[in-house]
Structure 1
Amino acid sequence: MGICMKIDNIELREGEICLRLMEEKDKEAYYDAAFLNGDEEAMYFTGTKERFERDTVYAFIQKIIPDESRYDFIINNSHNEIIGEAVIHEIEEEERSAGFRICLFRSVDFSKGYGSIAIRLILKFAFETLKLHRVELEVFDYNHRGQRAYEKAGFVVEGTKRDGLYLNGTFHDIIMMAILEEEYFKKYGSVS
């Protein structure tokens, strides 16, 4: 399957975690989870500098849903609550590459393995369904938990944007990481 035609109705599951594509009907629950119930610690790890207005988020959701260069997944727990998001974005068809980002909205959901499960599900989708060659991400130097999770999943550090983020009066480095398809298949095995 080529990566230029967007696939609909995707649901990725492992254990207590389900990733499904964001839909228009999710906008209110997404906003509440990310911006009303999300906490400062979670925002800090993503470098978020402000809380967005409801209308701004709703307009953004309407814009991204049909965008064929990205897949925006909601992360649900076993109670069908939105606990985060995982996004494949900036898909480049010729290079077969894309960016990746993930966020758990509440720190109470950290260190439970939810992020690691979501990363594995996204990588499986990216390499086995979309047939990507490369998935890359950026992580801030102070997000040690995220760095460990990405390394455990097979991402490799490729470089550093020195002082690339200014947050709360301090400059921070941005660490660039990526995983290639051969690294993914070596770690996780061939398509079943």
Structure 2
Amino acid sequence: MEIKLGKLSIEDKEKYWNSGFKNPDKEVMYYTGTINNPIKEQVYSYIERIVEDDSREDFIICDLDNNILGEVVLNDIDYDNRSCGFRIAIFNKDLCGQGIGYKATLEVLRVAFEELKLHRVELEVFDYNPRAKRMYEKAGFKVEGLKRDGIFIENEYKDVYIMSILEDEYKKIFI
């Protein structure tokens, strides 16, 4: 599936709410570690706050008809250390496995390393999401640690992998 990324804006509030949060996909919520369903006002307030935040770059993942499929985010950008966090969510489980997340990840890594001139991008992925872990590895991320019992979800503890990619690793693969 062809996709495009766009910067999340205030104008996207309604489409963002309808696509990802109005009728949330329970499986997506589980794989992203989401415990509470936010209400519309919380999502709107969140968007209004983050679009003005210089420590993050939030993108919506859209199909060619501008339907929002998910989001991909560079967060906690630290320009002094040239590093940031990364997260991604595809809002509908039926869209998983089609390469959407991989394509969005590669584009956001390009932004991180080529436009923002960062040195390190890191993420956390739950041990019960092996599909995501494989995709991150395909995109060049390496496991660098494990937070044992790092999340308590559905009444049990699960481990959390810490993964990262450095700018020279990105350049060797993609440039």
Cα root mean square deviation, aligned = 0.9
Secondary structure, counterpart of 1:116 in structure 2: helix
1:183 partnered with 2:169: yes
Hey, what does 2:64 align to over in structure 1? 78
What TM-score results when the alignment is normalised by the length of structure 2? 0.98
Hey, what does 1:92 align to over in structure 2? 78
Overall identity of the aligned pairs, in %: 48
Look up the equivalent residue of 2:68 and give its one-letter code: I
Contact 2:22 2:40 in 1 (8 A): no
Contact 2:56 2:77 in 1 (8 A): yes
Hey, what does 1:44 align to over in structure 2? 30
For the residues of structure 1 that align with 2:84 and 2:171, how far apart are their CA atoms? 17
Hey, what does 2:151 align to over in structure 1? 165
For the residues of structure 1 that align with 2:137 and 2:165, how far apart are their CA atoms? 9
* Residue among 29, 51, 63 paired with 2:15: 29
1:152 partnered with 2:114: no
For the residues of structure 1 that align with 2:67 and 2:23, how far apart are their CA atoms? 12
Moved beyond 2 Å, runs of 4+: none
For the residues of structure 1 that align with 2:5 and 2:24, how far apart are their CA atoms? 18
* Residue among 103, 106, 119 paired with 1:117: 103
1:63 partnered with 2:32: no
Contact 1:69 1:92 in 2 (8 A): yes
Look up the equivalent residue of 2:21 and give its one-letter code: F
For the residues of structure 2 that align with 1:56 and 1:107, how far apart are their CA atoms? 23
Larger displacement relative to structure 2 (36-45 or 109-118): 36-45
Contact 1:70 1:90 in 2 (8 A): yes
Look up the equivalent residue of 1:97 and give its one-letter code: S
Look up the equivalent residue of 1:48 and give its one-letter code: T
* Residue among 108, 113, 127 paired with 1:141: 127
Contact 1:21 1:71 in 2 (8 A): yes
Give how far 1:28 is off. 0.9
Gap regions ≥5 residues in structure 2: none
For the residues of structure 1 that align with 2:65 and 2:26, how far apart are their CA atoms? 23
Gap regions ≥5 residues in structure 1: 1-14
Q: Residues 153-175 of structure 1, C-alpha deviation per residue, up to 9 Å, x if partnerless?
A: 00000101110100111111110
Look up the equivalent residue of 1:53 and give its one-letter code: I
For the residues of structure 2 that align with 1:37 and 1:54, how far apart are their CA atoms? 11
Aligned pairs, how many? 175
What TM-score results when the alignment is normalised by the length of structure 1? 0.89
